[in-house]
Amino acid sequence: MTAPATEDRAPELVPLNAVFATDFVQILVPVTSANTMTEVAAAVAHHVEGKRVRALPYPKVVIHNGRRLPAGLTVAEAGIAPLDHIAVEYDVPEETP
């Protein structure tokens, strides 16, 4: 008997250790394996942005093991495991001269 495909399984809770932008506090944020990186970034920012870190008008990007993850990628697709460490940064465009 083979294991069910990932798509056939119900989303699982994935608690993540996260740091947002210039914050000095690491937080534990619960997300699910079906959450996209956009949703993960929003979940992390919810606890920090406008409280300890000034809100900026830029999109946010999730960084895991040194990789900037695409916004539509899910936690499961990215291979992020429970208690992994992520960083969420503002995606500030580079100024062109």
Q: For the segment 10-56, what is each residue's pLDDT rounded down to a tens digit?
A: 999 999 999 999 999 999 999 999 999 999 999 999 999 999 999 99
Count of structural domains, the chain? 1
Domain limits at 32?
11-90
Determine the 3-state secondary structure of 71 from DSSP.
coil
Percentage of the chain modeled with pLDDT above 90: 86
| Separation between Cα atoms, residue 28 and residue 43, nearest integer Å | 10
Rg (CA), the chain: 15
Is 95 inside a domain boundary? no
Mean pLDDT value across the chain: 92
Q: Answer with the residue of higher pLDDT: 97 or 94.
A: 94
Assign residue 39 the CATH number of its domain. 3.10.20.270
Is 31 inside a domain boundary? yes
